[in-house]
A and B are shown apart, each in its own frame.
Chain A
Amino acid sequence: MKKLIKSIAFFFLAGSVFIFQGCKPKGPQEAVVGNAASKVYVAPGKYDEFYNVVSGGFNGQMAIYGIPSGRLFRILPVFSQFPENGYGYSEETKPMLNTSHGYVPWDDLHHIALSQTNGEHDGRWAFGNANNTPRVARVSLRTFKTEEILELPNSGGNHSSPFITENSEYIVAGTRFSVPIGENRDVPISTYKENFKGTISFIKIDPQSGHMSIGFQLKTPGVNFDLSRAGKGPSHGWFFFSCYNTEQAYTLLEVNASQKDKDFIMAVNWKKAEEYIAQGKGVKVKAKYAHNLLDEKTHTATSEMMTEVLQLDPTILKDIIYFIPCPKSPHGCDTDPSGEYIVASGKLAALIPVFSFAKIQKAIADKDFEGEFAGIPVIKYESALHGEVKKTGLGPLHTEFDEKGNAYTSFFVSSEIVKWNVKTLEVLDRVHTYYSIGHLSVPGGSTRKPHGKYVIAYNKITKDRYLPTGPELTQSAQLYDISGDKMQLLLDFPTTGEPHYAEAIPASLIMPNSVKIFKIEENNHPYVAKGEKETKVVRKGNEVHVSMTAIRSHLVPDNIEGIKLGDVVYFHVTNLEQDWDVPHGFAIKGAANAEILVMPGETQTLKWVPDEVGVSPFYCTDFCSALHQEMSGYARVSPAGSNVPIKFSTGVIAPEGKGTAK
């Protein structure tokens, strides 16, 4: 008998081990099949098929990868200082990080939106959001430089951003946290319901220059906005946002914002909002926010403080917004390529509701509402619903699409991507990710013209994927082939920061326009030296401005005297090279402001406040030629009040015995 029990116990134990292993994602070494390596191998000298523009999350940057190789090409500084190229350190780039709170050196970049024309990627700009101090940035895909940053007033954190309309008319910025706005903001936190408001900013994009300005701002009931997508095709003119915390909780949101069975998808008719503005129904309110712009010709950014914003109140101006109930704290809110279906993912749900734009329109026309929430009509769930995808997985987050009518949804809790058919709502395939996937990306997967071929998983947990590097690890992404019926794992690749959303775009849309140099003839920097003849050292009070040139392999001037303790020295370094990939760097001993890197034809400025009398060496920090080590010079610093005159030269050798200090 005992034996029997023992054997039964053993049986169960073995069984549970088996089941346990069955639940855990198997290592990709088991999931990878034969020809995976050849599908991601990009031979030396060959190029990747897609650019992958990936958000850096808490590093505040964007990163550029090649797909299918997964190789990292560049990290682009956006909302954070970047020691690699002096962004946020050089005098020219410091204004880019200016805000109404002053200089913010580090933020959190979550989402990417690539510019579109006719619902397709056009390869002009990449936009990114700053989640913490609310801002949106525009990066040029010609120069891969951050060209513009616009701050957002009346926002408590910019999360549902920067999603874009199909002709890049607008990108949106929805507040993550509702906060008191307006004149009186010193209110008890417990007055959330009456005093806290959300805002959604519609940022206008100038079609030629790309310049951003806040077109208008919608004042909404106090909830949390999470993610959003523009309508496309038939639903162009509308925008959809996921909302959570419709409980209007202000403490322990983990519990108190998860009480209701359903939160909302908010549908915004922005064409209607434009009509109200045309009728003069917008209200200008005071606001303080920074608008920072880089001039490509002066290579210099400027920061302007804006003073007002145009607001619309949809509780008064009807027909701008509607709520649609959506199960369990919705996160992702994605429109399919046809523009007819809106896929919403309740983080805590096990099913995915798919709404129909046509049905939403009919429900609005028929006033098929279940009531109001804070003065906004709430459409009946069933009236807006196309259907539910059942038995999917746990914790659906985000959905991307292919060109064949399929959707790919990421599941954080169950670590998988589920492929399903948008029309039939039938689950077709599922693959594990390693581990705990957040966002995912199909090339063109958010546009009217997806390119299919791959889906990339951006995971939150790395654990054992790579050789360990202590407690702090890189992030992990996986690439899957989706060209066949079954998704096939091809590649694991590490990513920097913590990627949230990313977009992938065919290389052919970007590569031909990539700038190689800045033309020295077009450089309008106020301290440019277009040739060594224009180099100079000029004293203005206690400021000393050095207009310096760099070319392989010397700096002009390379002997500078007449600097005194108490001076502030600006080295304006112009790179005279006009050849691709010949940057020069500049550093001087004791500079508290790091170094700079100067691209061909560009001028960048390093500020130096000498703190000791003596001679400080400076040098080029970018290995540029065989004589790079010789590319250096000296700056002499004399005591305050001394009468050493300003003097500068290169290649001048004093006669014997006359070079001594006076």
Chain B
Amino acid sequence: MYKNQKHMKYLIFIGIAAMTLACAPDKPKNQEQYPDQPTKSAVEDIIADPTKGIGAVKKVTLKTPLEQERVGRGLAIFEMKCSACHRLTTERVVGPGWKDVTKRRQPEWVMNMITNVDVMLDKDPEAQKLFELCLVRMPNQNVSIGDARDILEFMRQNDGAK
């Protein structure tokens, strides 16, 4: 009897231990489960220069006068992929108006916002402020970095650059 009781206690102990282990939430391994999240180096970049945003675009060289070929292509992409939510004035519809965006933001920030929007909305404080204002996540419109550069040139023209 005594022996059995001892066994019982032992079993209960194992049972509780097993349950505790089973119930303890696993720490999510973010990088494995969400491969789109920024790598460590990208996060370091925010600290390095928060005004440039997060993404593959590190340095953009702007030319004067405007590159007119880019402006033309940028306008076409704007009409196909952006104009549903953005006006060229300061008026906010679904997303903020584009007027003066190139005066408020670094060119790198603009291009990272276009090409790496999911990470920007999750990590970049400025992008998050806009999200809180608009309440609609800006969609990933599958814009290449080259296309984003063209859009940027079109934005500069919209802001009065020559």
Contacts and interface: CB of A to CB of B under 8 A. Distances in A.
Given A552-B94, A553-B94, A553-B136, A576 B81 contact: yes
Interface stretch (A104-112, A187-195, A515-523): A515-523
B84 A554 contact: yes
B80 interface: yes
Q: Provide the main secondary structure of the chain B interface.
A: loop
A19 interface: no
Interface string B124-162: 000000000001110111110000000000000000000
Given A578-B141, A578-B142, A651-B93, A552 B83 contact: no
Contacts of A554: 84, 94
Contacts of B142: 517, 519, 578-579
B136 A579 contact: no
B20 interface: no
Interface residues of A, number: 26
Interface string B72-83: 000000011101
A582 B81 CA distance: 14
Given A552-B94, A651-B93, A531 B79 contact: yes
A556 interface: yes
Interface in B80-129: 80-81, 83-85, 93-94
A45 B33 contact: yes
A532 interface: yes
B85 A551 contact: yes
Contacts of B94: 552-554
Contacts of B33: 45
B136 A626 contact: yes
Interface residues of B, number: 17
B136 A627 contact: yes
A520 B80 contact: yes
A74 to B, nearest CB: 22
Interface string A548-563: 0101111010000000
B83 A577 contact: no
Contacts of B139: 551-552, 577-579, 582
Interface in A566-607: 576-580, 582
- The interface centre, meaning the residue of A517, A554, A576 with most chain B CB atoms within 10 A of its CB, is A576
Contacts of B83: 531-533
Interface in B21-67: 33
Nearest to A600: B142
Contacts of A521: 80
Nearest to B33: A45
B131 to A, nearest CB: 11
A386 interface: no
Contact of A578 (B79, B93, B136, B140): B140
Given A578-B139, A578-B141, A626-B135, A556 B80 contact: no
Contacts of B135: 626-627
A530 interface: yes
B82 to A, nearest CB: 8
B36 to A, nearest CB: 11
B24 to A, nearest CB: 15
A626 B138 CA distance: 12
Nearest to A46: B33
A508 interface: no
A551 B84 contact: yes
A532 B84 contact: yes
Contacts of A651: 93
Contacts of A45: 33
A497 B33 CA distance: 34
A118 to B, nearest CB: 32
- The interface centre, meaning the residue of B85, B94, B142 with most chain A CB atoms within 10 A of its CB, is B142
A579 B37 CA distance: 16
29 contacts: A45-B33, A521-B80, A530-B79, A530-B80, A531-B80, A532-B83, A533-B83, A534-B79, A551-B84, A551-B85, A551-B139, A552-B94, A553-B94, A556-B84, A576-B80, A576-B81, A576-B84, A577-B141, A578-B81, A578-B140, A579-B140, A579-B141, A579-B142, A580-B140, A625-B136, A626-B135, A626-B136, A627-B135, A651-B93
Interface of A: 45, 517, 519-521, 530-534, 549, 551-554, 556, 576-580, 582, 625-627, 651
Given A552-B139, A578-B140, 15 more contacts: A520-B81, A531-B80, A533-B83, A534-B79, A551-B85, A552-B94, A552-B136, A553-B136, A576-B81, A577-B139, A579-B139, A579-B141, A579-B142, A626-B135, A626-B136
